[in-house]
């Protein structure tokens, strides 16, 4: 039986600010920028969440909900330092550490139990060290697989400590809403609701055959997840840490159409480099520098790693829109994909729908043609029209 720990830091950026500035302890800290600036909340302390503030909310809205909040700029390099220290602690207990983002990781501690004791004890040791050495708190889930561990770590945040024992998978999941299932977005959720399904328990009672019939190929995966079955291995991070590309525009511009074309082009290049190296990535980061040299970086973590420009573009574009890009003329745009892993490890991605299979075939063909005839041989209709 495998023993997987999922660890996620509590209110990561905000907690670091509170630690670095003890006078902010117990206060509603909102990280992202000044209350009246454009842009969105990166995260906020639990004291601020009481007022309905959350990640990705426009700062102005956060200021309306929490006027007495302490608004702070993002100090990315500081958070990255702490993140590196965190991952170093985790690697003391197993080499099998798979970071999902700067503040969360999976650990496979199956082989570590002889050295350090049972998984639960290892988790306690880690949480204690994080508190002592980093002055921060974390939530953990311990379970026989990744999916259950991730759900578990989120259940009792902050300072959560939830263990799912073998044999308890189904009863643990049954009362939870179907949106907790990995990969169930708003669309699938709506379809499942139409079928009268609210909780994972409701889903457990339906047959795999029925789910497959009603929601397609991913029905099978959903059925497995609902029963708490997930065989994906914990994959330590690849040597290549990220694949990214940025471009300084020939002239600063606020032309949205033009910016979208540039962004799409960047995503295509990044996606192609990923595919060439046999990698897929889960964390998409967008960087925008405006004409006044103000730079924002925003990132988001996908449920499922990708090497498809459609997914990368969609995500980067959403981040850009959330940050009202183009309000001031843009000088530079960058896109980076990190949280990389090998795409051919035999690990079946959670939701391979026919669509994705077709896409993959299309990309392989396009890449082959580009390799033979050069970059310009095939261009997206969009790029072609705008040029
Ligand atoms: P999360 O783990 O999602 O959030 P959190 O650690 O702040 O709070 P929680 O206790 O709920 O885990 O993300 C980790 C960090 O990533 C977060 O501190 C800030 C950053 N982040 C963004 O910059 N933008 C976002 O939209 C999100 C969700 C996170
Ligand atoms: Mg967190």
Q: Is domain 242-384 in CATH 3.30.1490.100, yes or no?
A: yes
pLDDT at 113 over 60: yes
Task: Please give the DSSP secondary-structure letter assigned to residue 24.
Answer: G
For residue 83, the ligand closest to its alpha carbon is 1
Q: Is the predicted pLDDT of residue 361 greater than 70, yes or no? A: no
Q: If you measure from the C-alpha of residue 148 to the centroid of ligand 2, how many angstroms do you get, rounded to a whole number?
A: 17
Q: What is the pLDDT of residue 218?
A: 79
| 104 given a catalytic annotation | yes
**CA pair distance 106, 93, nearest whole angstrom:** 12
CA of residue 55 to ligand 1 center, whole Å? 7
Q: Give the three-class secondary structure for 334.
A: strand
The first and second tokens of residue 241, run together, are 């840490």
Q: Which residues lie near ion ligand 2 (Cβ < 5 Å)?
A: 8-9, 12, 103
What's the gap between Cα 258 and its chain centre? 28
Atom of ligand 1 nearest to the CA of 158: 10
Tens of pLDDT, residue by residue over 242-279, are 899 998 888 899 998 889 888 988 999 999 889 888 88
Taking CA atoms, 41 is separated from 81, 121, 283, in Å, by: 21, 35, 18
List the residue whose alpha carbon is closest to atom 4 of ligand 1: 11
Arithmetic mean of pLDDT, 113-123: 95
Burial class (CB in 10 A: 0-12, 13-18, 19+), 185: exposed
pLDDT of residue 362: 65
Q: Is the pLDDT of residue 325 over 50?
A: yes
Task: Identify the band that residue 139 occupies on the pLDDT scale cut at 50, 70 and 90.
Answer: very high
Compute the mean pLDDT over every residue in the chain, rounded to the nearest whole number. Answer: 88
Judge residue 304's burial from the number of C-beta atoms within 10 Å of its C-beta, 0-12 exposed, 13-18 middle, 19 or more buried.
middle
Of the listed ligands, the closest to the CA of 154 is: 1
Beta-carbon contacts of 327 under 8 Å, excluding residues fewer than 6 positions away, are 38, 254
In the sheet with 279-290, reading across from the earlier edge strand, the strands are 242-253, 330-342, 279-290, 295-306
Residue 17 beta carbon below 6 angstroms from any ligand 1 atom: no
CATH 1.10.150.20 intervals, the chain: 169-226
Record the pTM.
Answer: 0.71
pLDDT of res. 228: 97
Residue intervals of the chain classified under CATH 3.30.1490.100 are 242-384
Whether the pLDDT of residue 309 is over 70: the answer is: yes
**CATH number 3.40.50.970 is the correct assignment for the domain at 169-226:** no
pLDDT at 366: 64
> In ligand 1, which atom is closest to the CA atom of 10?
10
pLDDT tens-digit readout, 183-237: 787 778 888 999 999 999 999 999 999 998 988 877 888 999 999 999 988 988 7
**% of residues, the chain, pLDDT over 90:** 61
Q: Which of 32-41, 46-55, 60-69 has the lowest mean pLDDT?
A: 32-41
Residue 94's SS3 state is coil
Task: Provide, for the chain, the percentages of residues in helix, strand and coil under a 3-state DSSP scheme, each rounded to the nearest 5.
Answer: 45, 20, 35
CATH class of the 1-166 domain in this structure? alpha beta
18 lines ligand 1 (CB under 6 A): no
The kind and range of the H/E element at 154 are: helix 146-155
Q: Which of 146-150, 183-187, 218-222, 343-347 has the lowest mean pLDDT?
A: 343-347
């Amino acid at each position: 039986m495998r023993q997987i720990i999922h660890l996620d830091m509590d209110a990561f950026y905000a907690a670091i600010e509170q630690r670095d500035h003890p006078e902010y302890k117990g206060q509603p800290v909102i990280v992202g920028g000044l209350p009246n600036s454009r842009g969105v909340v990166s995260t906020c302390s639990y004291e601020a969440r009481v007022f309905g503030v959350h990640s990705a909310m426009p700062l102005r809205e956060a200021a309306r909900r929490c006027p007495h909040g302490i608004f702070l700029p993002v100090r990315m390099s500081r958070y990255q330092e702490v993140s590196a220290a965190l991952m170093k602690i985790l690697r003391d207990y197993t080499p099998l550490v798979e970071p999902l983002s700067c503040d969360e990781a999976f650990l496979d501690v199956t082989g570590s139990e002889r050295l350090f004791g049972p998984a639960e004890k290892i988790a306690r040791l880690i949480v204690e060290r994080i508190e002592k050495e980093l002055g921060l708190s974390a939530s953990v889930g311990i379970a026989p697989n990744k999916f259950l561990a991730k759900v578990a770590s989120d259940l009792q945040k902050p300072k959560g400590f939830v263990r799912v024992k073998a044999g308890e998978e189904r009863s643990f999941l049954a009362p939870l809403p179907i949106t907790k299932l990995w990969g169930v977005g708003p669309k699938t959720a709506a379809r499942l609701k139409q079928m009268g399904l609210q909780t994972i328990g409701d889903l457990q009672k339906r047959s795999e055959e029925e789910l497959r019939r009603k929601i397609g190929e991913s029905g099978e995966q959903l059925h497995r997840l609902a029963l708490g079955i997930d065989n994906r291995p914990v994959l330590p991070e690849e040597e290549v840490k990220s694949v990214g590309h940025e471009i300084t525009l020939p002239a600063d511009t606020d032309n949205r159409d033009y910016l979208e074309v540039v962004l799409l082009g960047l995503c295509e290049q990044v996606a192609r480099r990923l595919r060439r190296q046999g990698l897929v990535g889960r964390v998409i980061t967008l960087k925008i520098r405006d004409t006044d040299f103000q730079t924002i970086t925003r990132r988001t973590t996908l449920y499922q790693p990708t090497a498809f420009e459609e997914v990368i573009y969609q995500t980067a574009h959403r981040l850009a829109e959330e940050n009202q890009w183009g309000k001031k003329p843009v000088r530079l745009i960058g896109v980076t994909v990190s949280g990389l892993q090998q795409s051919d490890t035999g690990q079946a991605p959670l939701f391979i729908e026919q669509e994705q299979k077709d896409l993959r075939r299309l990309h392989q063909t396009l890449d082959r043609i580009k390799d033979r005839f050069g970059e310009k041989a095939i261009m997206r209709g969009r790029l072609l029209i705008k040029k």
